[in-house]
Amino acid sequence: MTNRNKTLIVLVGPTGVGKTDLSIKIAEKYDSPIISADSRQLYSELKIGTAAPTEEYLNRVKHYFVGTLKLTDYYSAAQYESDVISLLDELFKTKDVLLLTGGSMMYIDAICKGIDDIPTVDDETRQMMTKKYEDEGLERLCAELKLLDPEYYSIVDLKNPKRVIHALEICYMSGKTYTSFRTGNKKQRPFNIIKIGLNRDREELYDRINKRVDIMIEDGLIDEVKSVYQYKNLNSLNTVGYKEIIQYLDGNCTLDFAIDKIKQNSRIYSRKQMTWFKRDSEIKWFHPDKEEDIIGYIESKIV
């Protein structure tokens, strides 16, 4: 049963749009902590390249799910869903309004809609599949997935090893297809959800993205990547900003080329985010500068 006296504000938008600044203002207005929905800001070693909240912001407002994991920790959207829902249950005992913000589409959907109850992969199966991937390569695993779960094979991103490996892990563990666990049923949440989307004109957004990459370089992104270079094969580092600098450190390109690629890939990622978010008719869109309009809209929706 939904408790209409409890409200979760969900603030979304593409990378570089300005979610962080506005989230601080909204959190302070409603005396709420900030619950991060950024799958990379979870890692304590990845501060600069993920544009993690500054020490000043962390001191102003309590943040959850920022810098809580090590790169070698395994974490999934299903675990995130479980952890956040438990946290919300606890926080709503003393708060009427809470704020969730980020740009990781799967994490946002995990909280707003829920994700399927897919079995947790045991360590033995995970290690076995990791070794298969290292020994045989992605192409062989894709061929195996085509045999074991042709339906998922037809829709999965075959260039994404994490997705392919995870589907095979479930197939091996359960003896069933990965598809059989993907019901897509939306879960009902016991609180009201207000979805706010931030967007800018493409030229304006791209300019902000390009400038933000330059600032990351100035702030020490290259040294940050060097500090985690030994983990370069982990999926958590298959991330815009890190994978390009790793290519530079490996001697495969110049630094200028790597920086240009970060900007280009960040722009591409922002388009993917918007394509995903635009499918959700519940999101009300605003320019980030329209703070009064945004607060007014939230006020009109809080019961």
Give pLDDT tens digits for 271-282.
999 998 998 999
Quote the pLDDT of residue 4.
61
% of the chain residues with pLDDT over 90: 79
* Beta strands 283-286 and 63-64, pairing class: unpaired
Buried b (16+ CB within 10 A) or exposed e, 43-55: bebbbbbbbbbee
Quote the pLDDT of residue 278.
92
Quote the pLDDT of residue 120.
79
Name the DSSP letter for residue 171. Answer: H
Q: Two tokens at 218?
A: 């100035």
> Where do the CATH 1.10.20.140 domains begin and end in the chain?
123-181
pLDDT category at 288 given cuts 50, 70, 90 is very high
**Which CATH superfamily includes the segment(s) 3-116+185-301?**
P-loop containing nucleotide triphosphate hydrolases (3.40.50.300)
Name the DSSP letter for residue 178. Answer: S
Residue pLDDT, tens place only, 14-41: 999 999 999 999 999 999 999 999 999 9
C-alpha distances in Å from residue 189, one per residue of 2, 115, 117, 186: 7, 12, 15, 9
> Where do the CATH 3.40.50.300 domains begin and end in the chain?
3-116+185-301
Cα separation, 294 vs 298, whole angstroms: 6
Quote the pLDDT of residue 123.
84
Cα separation, 83 vs 118, whole angstroms: 16
User: Is 123-181 a domain of CATH 1.20.1730.10?
Assistant: no
Quote the pLDDT of residue 1.
47
Q: Which residue has the tokens 């519940």?
A: 282
Which burial class, exposed, middle or buried, applies to 26 when counting CB atoms under 10 A from its CB (0-12, 13-18, 19+)? buried
pLDDT category at 249 given cuts 50, 70, 90 is very high
**pLDDT at residue 2 is higher than 70:** no
Of all helices (H) and strands (E), which one includes residue 26?
helix 19-29
CA 260, 262, 263, 264 dihedral sign is: positive
- Judge contact between 28 and 60, C-beta under 8 A: yes
